[in-house]
């Protein structure tokens, strides 16, 4: 038999809680989704560049020694490509104007390597020391990876703040409801109602509101999150273009509103018990 709810939130409280919970769920899903998308992008970014390196032979350095090192270590190299002057000029276009053709004479001889094993990076760095500049792509692009981790940290902070705001709102509403229904609580205590029964009443109320609000917030957040990822992909360059959500990430996002609902019910129960114990 279904247990009737003895008391409920007033209409203004119910509307406020539904709206604030929906907004906070929206922010939580966006923050969590962005953090997952960027972390996936960082992983793909690092995996893409971990085996890549560039060898730069500046004018005046011994290019024959560099060539000999490359030829003698072919078993450790998956691919090697020497960039042409035109390709380097294209890359340096922002710094070489149409009237600065003389700058082309100072361009290095550049090789782009893809190694078979990441552990060989140090081996080649030692081999080329003094003969050429050896730079792994992962090292050169460390600033982009670092920026990605910072964005993940910011998104995580927003998620923590949103969950903290949910805790504060639920605690406040539970306390306010107890004050409004003080007379009902006194009657329940007099007739022998246990604290767990009263807490269950509050949990039923908050649970219904949380399910509706969390579902609404999630539904509103998904299109926005897809728009953010789509906009990042359209950059077609850099770490942002690597952003994306895997199947496991989508499962985690779908579990987010469920987790927020369960968390809200737990906070309600904990707060209600504290109120009843202090009465």
Read off the tokens for 102: 């003389």
Longest dimension (CA), the chain: 97
Residue 198 has a pLDDT of 74
The pLDDT of 193-219, averaged and rounded, is 83
pLDDT digits (tens, 9 = 90+) for 230-269: 887 776 666 677 788 888 889 989 998 998 888 888 888 8
pLDDT digits (tens, 9 = 90+) for 107-162: 777 888 888 887 888 888 888 887 788 877 777 667 777 777 888 888 889 888 88
Mean pLDDT rounded to a whole number for the chain: 78
Site of tokens 């995580």: 156
CA distances from 197 to 4, 175, 200 (A): 11, 17, 5
pLDDT digits (tens, 9 = 90+) for 38-87: 888 877 777 767 778 888 887 767 777 888 888 888 888 888 888 776 76
Residue 224 has a pLDDT of 92
Q: Which helix (H) or strand (E) holds 67?
A: helix 63-72
| Cβ–Cβ under 8 Å, residues 14 and 209 | yes
Strand ranges in the chain using DSSP code E only, listed in sequence order = 52-57, 77-83, 109-115, 133-136
pLDDT above 70 covers a percentage of the chain that reads: 76
């Amino acid at each position: 038999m279904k247990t009737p709810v003895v008391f409920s939130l007033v209409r203004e409280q119910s509307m406020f809680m539904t709206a604030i919970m929906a907004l906070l769920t929206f922010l939580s899903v966006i923050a969590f989704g962005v953090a997952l998308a960027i972390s996936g992008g960082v992983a793909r970014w690092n995996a893409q560049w971990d085996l890549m390196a560039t060898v730069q032979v500046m004018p005046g350095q011994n290019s024959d020694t560099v060539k000999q090192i490359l030829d003698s270590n072919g078993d450790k190299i998956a691919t090697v490509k020497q960039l042409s002057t035109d390709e380097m000029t294209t890359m340096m276009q922002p710094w070489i104007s149409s009237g600065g053709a003389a700058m082309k004479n100072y361009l290095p001889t550049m090789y782009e390597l893809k190694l078979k094993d990441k552990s060989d990076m140090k081996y080649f760095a030692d081999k080329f020391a003094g003969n050429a500049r050896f730079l792994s792509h992962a090292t050169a692009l460390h600033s982009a990876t670092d920026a990605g981790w910072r964005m993940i940290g910011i998104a995580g902070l927003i998620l923590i703040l949103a969950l903290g705001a949910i805790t504060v709102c639920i605690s406040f509403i539970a306390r306010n409801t107890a004050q409004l229904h003080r007379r009902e609580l006194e009657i329940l205590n007099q007739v022998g109602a246990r604290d767990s029964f009263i807490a269950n009443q509050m949990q039923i109320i908050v649970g219904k509101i949380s399910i509706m609000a969390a579902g609404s917030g999630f539904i509103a957040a998904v299109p926005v999150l897809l728009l953010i990822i789509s906009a990042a992909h359209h950059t077609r360059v850099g770490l942002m273009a690597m952003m994306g959500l895997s199947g496991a990430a989508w499962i985690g996002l779908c579990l987010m509103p469920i987790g927020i609902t369960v968390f809200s019910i737990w906070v309600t129960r904990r707060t209600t018990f504290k109120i009843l114990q202090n009465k």
